[in-house]
Amino acid sequence: MWIKAGLFHLLLSYVLAMVLMVMPLPALLEPWRPDWLSLVIIYWLLAIPHRVGFGTVLILGLLADILMGSVFGIYAIALLLIAYPTVRHYQRIRNYSLTQQAIIVGILVLVKRAVVYELEHVLNDAVFHLPYLYPVISSAIIWPWIYLIMRKYRRRYLIR
Amino acid sequence: MQSLFERGPSIRTRLVLSLAIAGSLLFLDYRLNTMQPVRSFMTSLVAPIQYIAVLPEALLDRLVYLSTTRTALREENYRLQQELLELEMAMQRLNFLENENDRLRQLLGSDVRQASRRMVAEVVAVATDPFSHQLVINKGSGNGVYYGQPVLDNRGIVGQIISVGRNTARVLLISDQSHAILLRAERNDIRVLAKGTGDLELLELLYIPHSTELIEGDILLSSGLGGIYPEGYPVAMVDSVSRNEDRPYARVLVRPFAELDRVRTLLLLWPANATEEPVFDDEVPDVD
């Protein structure tokens, strides 16, 4: 049995996250775009860690690299580095309140962005701008809703 | 079914393994540049995502178009006809000057300039990463788009093609931090090198001595020296010149003519010496 229940809907959520990642936004909102892909990955790692693992994160990271046009592997490395603490402590994070989870997610997104920036800085001499960290705040704020919506989605389509 | 005891390698081993794969891909792509075929394959793979992403915007545009009134259309039509008339008059003069220029160049014994071929492309997606200013357009290798091709809009140079898929291609904007372009001042032919700053509205000129004759408002054209961009297209206007003697060079900021933050329609250019040929789609006229 290779195809498990809810595979289609699992993949659909990844596609949706990537669509939201590249969707054009008004210039005013653009710097505040939440880090959709990281949020979705963190949720699945918390909810079904026996199914979504480093392999999935690696592939999604490489696809994100292609979508963003960055050097192959930058997003993959950053996402893998935040996947590790998530998988390591998923049982603890699951039992936190939504506010506490939001703070954890904010820190994870911050780490991810810092890693991406450092790699871009080493490889392409990127210069740091403060707006690059705005999504840390917006991702943390939007996390409780993402969590609730995704939980409903998971139960509805029996993804386990 | 979730088992109580984990099987297989520990998560640390799995992390190290995945990181090793990602790291070696990074090395292969960045250092050895061997990933180009894989990249173009995956670019085609993710193209549907980019098309879905712009769908809402396209639908909105369509709705706005459908709801325009007859009067508004008539007014726009009138305005466009006036514009066309003016452009046609300018064109006659340009043709005359071009012919004269060719004749004079023949007299001087230098090569006659050849016309370049063009194709219109639409922007389908914008990379939102602030560290890489890139656009995705809806023309690819199937239309004869090639690596390093210059891309313009109606105001000036926008950037160059850095990767080509079957039906899409990626444009690196001149404002990207890894991009530099050779320019020449229109007024006094000073040659300069303009590097992107990561800000869509500003480029920086490198290695400008404090004694430079550049002043604010000078227009910079492409010099054609890099071999990628054709000569003589407008690129930027000098925005500020700061001659702080503490620094080794004067700091000159220039503002690109092309509106890089809101480009929708682009122009692909095939210079006369390009080996690739543009392949035009069979245009289906839009009836409604």
Of B14, B29, B134, the CB nearest to A71: B29
* A104: nearest Cα among A121, A122, A82, A124: A82
pTM score of the predicted model: 0.78
pLDDT greater than 80 at residue B256: yes
Among chain B residues, the shortest Cα distance to A124 is held by: B178
Q: Does any CB of chain A come closer than 8 Å to the CB of residue B133?
A: no
Task: Count Cβ atoms within 10 A of the Cβ of residue B84 and give its class: 0-12 exposed, 13-18 middle, 19 or more buried.
Answer: exposed
* ipTM given for this complex: 0.83
Distance, CA of A116 to CA of A74 (rounded, Å):
6
C-beta of residue A72 within 8 angstroms of C-beta of residue B35: yes
Q: How far is B192 from chain A (nearest CA, A)?
A: 21
- What digits encode the pLDDT tens for the residues A30-82? 888 899 999 999 999 999 888 888 999 999 999 998 888 788 889 999 999 99
Instruction: Output the pLDDT for position A3.
Output: 64
Does B11 contact A87 at a Cβ distance shorter than 8 Å? yes
Q: Does any CB of chain A come closer than 8 Å to the CB of residue B273?
A: no
Contacts of B198 in chain A (CB under 8 A): 126-127, 129
* B53: nearest Cα among B179, B175, B138: B138
Instruction: Output the pLDDT for position B283.
Output: 54
Does B261 contact A126 at a Cβ distance shorter than 8 Å? no
CB pairs under 8 A between A and B: 129
Does B22 contact A84 at a Cβ distance shorter than 8 Å? no
Q: How far is B26 from chain A (nearest CA, A)?
A: 5
Q: How far is A143 from chain B (nearest CA, A)?
A: 21
Does A72 contact B29 at a Cβ distance shorter than 8 Å? yes
What's the whole-number mean pLDDT along residues B123-129? 74
Contacts of A125 in chain B (CB under 8 A): 177-178
Q: How far is B103 from chain A (nearest CA, A)?
A: 46
- What digits encode the pLDDT tens for the residues B170-221? 899 998 888 999 999 999 889 999 998 878 888 999 999 888 888 899 999 9
Q: Range with the lowest mean pLDDT among A132-146, B55-69, B110-124? A: B110-124
Instruction: Output the pLDDT for position A7.
Output: 86
Among chain A residues, the shortest Cα distance to B165 is held by: A66
How much is the mean pLDDT over chain B? 85
DSSP string, A42-86: HHHHHH-TTTS-HHHHHHHHHHHHHHHTPPTTHHHHHHHHHHHHH
Q: How far is B97 from chain A (nearest CA, A)?
A: 42
Contacts of B41 in chain A (CB under 8 A): none
